[in-house]
Structure 1
Amino acid sequence: MIATEKETFQEQHVALQSQFSPAWLVELRQSGLDAFTRLGLPTKRLEDWRFTNVTALAKRSYELASLGHSKDATSSDVINAFVHEATLDEEFHRLVFINGCYCDQWSQTHDLPAGVTIDNLASVIDDRPDTVQSQLESNVHFDESAFAALNTAFINDGAVIDIPDGVVMDRPVHLVFLSIGNSQVVSHPRNLIRVGKHSKADVIETYLGQGDAYFTNAITQVSLEDSAKVDHHKLQHEQVGALHIALTSVDQRSNSNFRSHYFSTGASLARNELNCVLDGEEIETTLNGLYMPTGDQLMDCRTRIDHAKPHCNSHELYKGILDDKGKGVFNGKIFVHQGAQKTDAKQSNQALLLSDDAVVNTKPQLEIYADDVRCTHGATIGELDESAMYYLRSRGIPTERARKILIYAFANDVVQGVEIPAVRQHLESILLAERALTDV
């Protein structure tokens, strides 16, 4: 559909555009389609895609499924089982999307503070489109990114979280995205998160599905006003065989605090881009990530932090655990603009190779145009410590158990950075997959 059957692709876009939508949204979608047509699929000849080849997966004939199609093709019991698997805590606010479309049956919101909006994008566009127009039209650089352009061409649904000034959310908001039914279904969720001045929110995105050939192409836009605080968690647990492409775009104002926790274990190919613009003073930004490819999986993590104003701090730690023939890519860029004096930025990427066939390509970058800054970056790649293995084995610990203890220790500082107990326990259960390690 995307690469070779452009007639089908055009037909699906025409069908979407034929539905009643505000004129500005019709124009925005068309701009996205035009940009995608001009850009075409990225190839390995592009520097940003040198280690990530999407051509083979993107040539599949993906189908833009509707919610009605999903419910016809999949029983409620199957959907319920997936929702139960994804649910971290029944006390959380939860929005469930099936093949990119909101499903009220499995969603829930508890009592909300006055003025707080937790809704789906399609409903907001129908009822009060002007409230999301400026955020949707804000620059996510879709004119430079093929997959962002493709998402823009098919803007239809996703989550809308709007927190007014002075509100501290007492429950996390959990966004669950399921791909089910047709094994080659494609979804393009667009999520909008805005947190007002002196407000605080915790947001969790979970991606999982059924089948081995579906495609998720997601964009999440996060806006933090002055002194706002957001903890954002993304759990990428797609089925092996799926294609997952995602962009998270973050805009921060003065004295705001944004913390990102990214965990990737699924998909045949997963590429996650996280771009933060620090457009104010006294901003704190923390980016933590853990990617764990195995088999033939490829996981590509790309981050960019733009220090646009002085007196801001950023801290970044990404770790990879690679087994079998798994491949990892990390490209982190810290861009210190002219005038962004007193910047303090730290970036680290560490990779643990568990097999001789595992491969990681890492490229930490600094680009600095100010002279009074403190910036560091580094990357390390290694194997399990043989002396540590010997130490554990000499004390009667079986080899496999000793191996898992060291893997857990390697990942632990990233996992322990998660402050929501339900999310942290979920991640620990993945690392401690065998019962013998539950007492570590």
Structure 2
Amino acid sequence: MAEAATLSGVRPTRKDEAWRYSAVEALGDAPLDDWRTIEVGPGETFRDSFAIDGDGTDVRRLRVNVGEGATCELFGVIAGGEYARVEVEVTLARGSHFELGGVTVGGRETVREFVTHVVHAEPEATSNQVVRAVHWGQGTGNFLGRIDCVRDAQKTDAAQDFKGLLLEKGASVNAVPQLEIFADDVKCAHGATVGQLDEAARFYMAARGLSPELARKLLVRAFLGDAFVALDDEAESERLMDLALSKLDAHL
């Protein structure tokens, strides 16, 4: 990723793969070498959720080491900032699991993105990443996800699932899934789709008396909900969902 460049004092540009669709001009003098380290010990379970809902530029970088048989779950919403980025580097030990559920929403000329690099360093580890993006105006949502399976990481099971929803012309989403596999007994899958609201579903709802605004909100809620299916905390799931939908309410 772009760590070497930032540590050497060279600011990232769009020529760097991990910053291809970023609003690098918005970085200014923001520090890029401030990493939060998460150590999940063998057999432990760690869960964290976060929300970005401020102004300006917000870049958060996490380095996660997941011990043997351990689980790390991260869930987040990027709903604020002219430019907001969450970057996660994960190293998985034998039999461990990493789960990511992420949502980006926004309009105007904002850019909001998840960038991940998951390394299956030992056998029998699993990972699952689900990211949903809803944008309008000139807003942009990005997901750059890389999965590495080293030669000894047999029985790996890794998946990425990205879907983007464009509410208006001019909005955009970008997905760059990458797989580097050196083991020969693995299951690695990725999927990326981009589309608009289902007009047939909107017509169906309107025929039953729902307003266009409510129909749109219900469809977006169902679309975003996939990102939080693995979050076994209903109250926290609702909090993250409400934050994302509040941006849609402001747009409507």
Give the TM-score of the pair, scaled to structure 1.
0.53
Unmatched 5+ stretches in structure 1: 1-31, 63-145, 152-218
**Structure 2 counterpart of 1:288, from 95, 101, 106:** 101
* Runs (5+) with no aligned partner, structure 2: none
- 1:229 lines up with 2:45 in the alignment: yes
Matches of residues 180-329 of structure 1 in structure 2 within 5 Å? 219-239=35-55, 242-278=56-92, 280-329=93-142
- 2:78 & 2:119 partners in 1: Cα distance? 24
Q: Does 1:380 align with 2:193?
A: yes
Give, in whole Å, the separation in 1 of the partners of 2:76 and 2:236: 11
Tell me, yes or no, if the aligned pair for 2:6 and 2:12 is still in contact at 8 Å: no
Where does 1:335-354 land on structure 2 (aligned, <5 Å)?
A: 335-354=148-167
Instruction: Name the CA shift for 1:36/1:384 in 2 (closer, same or farther; >3 Å).
Output: closer
Provide TM-score, normalisation by structure 2: 0.90
Alignment partner of 1:55 is 2:14: no
Is the contact between residue 286 and residue 315 of structure 1 (CA under 8 Å) also seen in structure 2?
Answer: yes
CA contact (8 A) 2:104 2:134 kept: yes
Q: CA deviation at 1:431?
A: 4.5
Counterparts in 2 of 1:406 and 1:397: CA distance versus 1, 3 Å: same
Q: 1:38 to 1:253 in 2, by over 3 A?
A: closer
- Matched-pair identity in %: 30
The structure-2 alpha-carbon separation of the partners of 1:253 and 1:38, relative to structure 1 and needing over 3 Å to count, comes to closer
Q: Is the counterpart of residue 417 in structure 1 residue 230 in structure 2?
A: yes
* Structure 2 counterparts to residues 121-132 of structure 1, below 5 A: none
Paired amino acid for 2:108: G
Instruction: State how far apart, in whole Å, the 1-side matches of 2:181 and 2:245 are.
Output: 41
Query: Matches of 1:38 and 1:296 in 2, distance apart?
Result: 30
Give 1:54 deviation, angstroms: 2.0
Matches of 1:393 and 1:39, distance apart in 2 = 55
Corresponding letter in the other structure for 1:223: E
Deviation string 1:65-116 (CA, Å, 9 cap, x unpaired) is: xxxxxxxxxxxxxxxxxxxxxxxxxxxxxxxxxxxxxxxxxxxxxxxxxxxx
Higher relative contact order (CA 8 A, sep 6+): 2
How far apart in 1 are the matches of 2:180 and 2:174?
A: 20
Distance between the aligned counterparts of 2:189 and 2:7, measured in 1?
39
1:404-423 superposed Cα distances (whole Å, 9 cap, x missing partner): 11001101122343333442
SS at match of 1:320: strand
Contact kept in structure 1, 2:105 and 2:133, CA below 8 Å: yes
Stretch moving more, 45-54 or 402-411: 45-54
CA shift for structure 1 position 376: 0.6
Residue 90 of structure 2 aligns with an amino acid whose one-letter code is C
- Could you tell me whether the CA contact under 8 Å between 1:43 and 1:53 is conserved in 2? no
Q: Is the CA contact (8 Å cut-off) linking 1:295 and 1:324 kept in structure 2?
A: yes
Looking at structure 1, the residues matched to 121 and 65 of structure 2 have their Cα atoms a distance apart, in angstroms, of 11
Checking the alignment, whether the CA contact within 8 Å between 1:41 and 1:55 is kept in structure 2 is no
Structure with the greater alpha carbon radius of gyration: 1
Distance in 1 of aligned mates of 2:6 and 2:183: 35
Aligned residues of 1:418 and 1:424 also touching (Cα < 8 A): yes
d(CA) in 2 for partners of 1:261 and 1:305?
Answer: 16
Quote the residue 1:147 is aligned against.
32
- Give the 4+ runs in structure 1 shifted more than 6 A: none
CA apart distance, 1:46: 2.1
Q: Structure 1 residues 277 and 37, CA, compared in 2 at 3 Å: closer, same or farther?
A: closer
**Is 2:13 aligned against 1:43?**
yes
Structure 1 288/56 Cα, relative in aligned 2: closer, same or farther at 3 Å? closer
Query: What amino acid is aligned across from residue 147 of structure 1 in structure 2?
Result: L
How big is the shift at 1:38?
A: 3.6
Q: 1:269 to 1:249 in 2, by over 3 A?
A: same
Aligned to 1:122: none
Matched residue of 1:292: which SS? strand
Greater strand content = 2
Displacement of 1:42 after TM fit? 1.1
Q: CA deviation at 1:430?
A: 2.6
Query: Which residue of structure 1 lines up, in the alignment, with residue 173 of structure 2?
Result: 360
Q: Output the CA distance in 1 between the equivalents of 2:91 and 2:236.
A: 26
Residue equivalent to 1:398: 211
Amino acid at match of 2:236: V
RMSD over aligned Cα, in angstroms? 2.3
- 1:299 to 1:428, Cα distance in 2 relative to 1, 3 A: closer
User: How far off its partner does 1:318 sit?
Assistant: 0.7
Counterpart Cα distance in 2 of 1:39 and 1:314 = 32
Amino acid corresponding to residue 299 of structure 1 in structure 2:
R
